[in-house]
Structure 1
């Protein structure tokens, strides 16, 4: 009886933490019309080496965040290992996250893969933040990592 009660308590706590995580992610991630990366396929950055627009009928949701895919194969890869394809910093501009801790919109076609992770950048009005990022990547990445952890608390 004690084992059953303990198992139930652990299950309830786990479900509560999971619900909090989903809620926090959907509140803090860069979601346009409830879709991440403005509908671009997160797997395409890695497998095709470029930004490809996803299709509305090819979707998958990971911890409350919905992604679109350009192909069934990319969707299947994502479903098998979603965490490895998600953009860093909730899909916000990596440079802004590092330089000021702000959540700034991105241009989904301006990206960089670093150590197997996807980083997205703002690029408009003669301001390509990827260029600025490249000048001080190590420092900006460390600051962005710390700033994003504060946001997700």
Structure 2
């Protein structure tokens, strides 16, 4: 049964890669060679410019504005408002995406895949991303199990380049 599940998930990941291949360049913002534990674009911006606080307050992905930005762990985050920026700076660990903004399902499978700000879920007060909504459907089938596996794998893969996994 476990092998069947892994096969289904692998197929979904392959489908996810195919989907990413046809999206604009920003969909593949992460660097396959980077050993950074946080997923950023070439300008050092996390979450592809989406406001991390808005997931919690507006309950929706919301593009931030560079005029309202803050840094945390060497990453620049953009916010939709000064109020959201201030909430973030007061408690960045609460709002920053888990697994550095990489795909939570990918981490559970020992991979560092780009996180899609549109494929998100807040679980136990933490923000998680997936590579796309199809992969997210698989992740949502067993969130506790997938998070347990991802939390076990993350320390071993967080400092590795995606291409090496």
Which TM-score band applies after superposition, normalised by the shorter structure?
0.7 to 0.9
Distance in 2 (CA, whole Å) between partners of 1:62 and 1:28 is: 13
In the TM superposition, residue 118 of structure 1 has moved relative to its aligned partner by: 0.1
**Residue number among 142, 146, 163 corresponding to 1:136 in the alignment:** 142
Matched, 1:32 2:41: yes
Give runs of ≥4 in structure 1 deviating > 6 Å: none
Q: Does 1:147 align with 2:156?
A: no
**Cα distance between partner residues in 1 of 2:128 and 2:85:** 19
Unaligned runs of 5+ in 1: 1-25
Alignment of 1:29-108 (within 5 A): 29-33=38-42, 34-98=44-108, 100-108=109-117
Distance 1:36 1:64 in 2: 10
1:109 aligns with 2:118: yes
Q: Which has the larger radius of gyration?
A: 1
After TM superposition, the score normalised by the length of structure 1 is 0.76
The two structures have a TM-score, normalised by structure 2, of 0.71
What is the DSSP-based 3-state SS (H/G/I as helix, E as strand, rest coil) of the residue aligned with 2:53?
helix
- How far has the Cα of 1:152 moved from its partner? 4.2
Q: How many residues align?
A: 124
Determine if contact 2:37/2:99 at 8 Å carries over to the other structure. no
Structure with higher RCO (Cα < 8 A, 6+ apart): 2
Give 1 or 2: higher helix fraction: 1
Q: CA RMSD in A?
A: 1.5
Q: Which has the higher strand share?
A: 1
